[in-house]
């Protein structure tokens, strides 16, 4: 079953629900190495994004654009513009296609990640969102090359993102607020990598169960 605009809306709603549920946890992670607002920031942006989703007429790029605009205007923090860029670029990449197969989902995530990297200039290992997103993108691209079905591709991406998220714990932050702590940023899981894992997990739980 290919991914339709309705599936993208279900994905964003699932991401918003997960962030709402884990808001206190995200805030706790951000209190350790940042300013303790990541859960609140994302919850604000995503609840607006979820509310603004059209229930029927938006196509794939319009759906992603409406999420991007809500994230950019309502989230705040460093993560708002970064997630906004993720969805803006992801929407442009999927273009006017009516639905996405595994390769299309890989392209969507690759374009979103490239946007995050262009905007934030983070490299892998800098202890950011990139550390969860990049392994997920690579897993999706490998799955597409190997002709895997969507549920398998997304299951692999979710596992890869989870591993990437956990691997941020020992790292020293080199981007964002946490980088001000220098060595003291070590030993804490990155809040943005954690929310990015939820983004991938929400895709796995929505697109991955449809086939």
Residues near ligand ADP (CB under 6 A):
30, 34-35, 37-38, 41, 77-79, 82, 116, 120-122, 128-130, 175-177, 190-193
Q: Which two tokens mark 164?
A: 């990437």
- Residue 193 interacts with which of ligand ADP, Mg ion, none, CB < 5 to 8 Å by class: ligand ADP
Q: Where are the beta strands (DSSP E) in 21-154?
A: none
Q: Is 30 a residue that touches Mg ion (CB under 5 A)?
A: yes
- Using alpha carbons only, what angle is made at residue 107 by residues 98 and 133, rounded to the nearest 5 degrees? 130
Q: Which residue in 44, 52, 207 sits closest to 136, CA to CA? A: 207
Choose between 4 and 196: whose C-beta lies nearer to ligand ADP.
Answer: 196
Q: Is 34 a residue that touches Mg ion (CB under 5 A)?
A: yes
Of all residues in this chain, which one has the CB nearest to ligand ADP in the complex?
A: 192
Q: Which residue in 152, 148, 169, 162 sits closest to 195, CA to CA? A: 162
Q: Work out how close the CB of 37 gets to Mg ion at its nearest, in angstroms, rounded to a whole number.
A: 4
Cα–Cα distance measured from residue 177 to residue 74, given in angstroms and rounded to the nearest whole number: 20
Binding site for Mg ion (CB under 5 A): 30, 34-35, 37-38
């Amino acid at each position: 079953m290919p991914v339709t605009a309705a599936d993208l809306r279900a994905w964003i709603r699932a991401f918003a629900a997960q962030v709402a549920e884990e808001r206190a946890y995200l805030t706790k992670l951000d209190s350790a190495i940042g300013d303790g607002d990541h859960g609140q920031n994302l919850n604000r942006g995503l609840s607006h994004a979820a509310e603004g989703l059209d229930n029927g007429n938006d196509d794939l790029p319009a759906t992603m654009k409406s999420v991007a605009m809500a994230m950019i205007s309502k989230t705040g923090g460093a993560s708002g513009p970064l997630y906004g860029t993720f969805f803006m670029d992801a929407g442009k990449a999927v273009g006017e296609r009516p639905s996405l197969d595994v390769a299309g989902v890989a392209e969507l995530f690759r374009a979103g990640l490239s946007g995050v990297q262009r905007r934030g200039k983070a490299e892998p290992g800098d202890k950011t969102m990139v550390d969860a997103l990049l392994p997920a993108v690579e897993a999706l691209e490998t799955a597409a090359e190997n002709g895997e079905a969507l549920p398998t591709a997304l299951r692999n991406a979710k596992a890869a993102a989870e591993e990437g998220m956990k691997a941020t714990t020992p790292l020293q932050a080199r981007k964002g607020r946490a980088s001000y702590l220098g060595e003291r940023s070590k030993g804490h899981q990155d809040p943005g990598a954690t929310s990015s894992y939820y983004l991938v997990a929400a895709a796995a739980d929505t697109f991955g169960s449809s086939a």
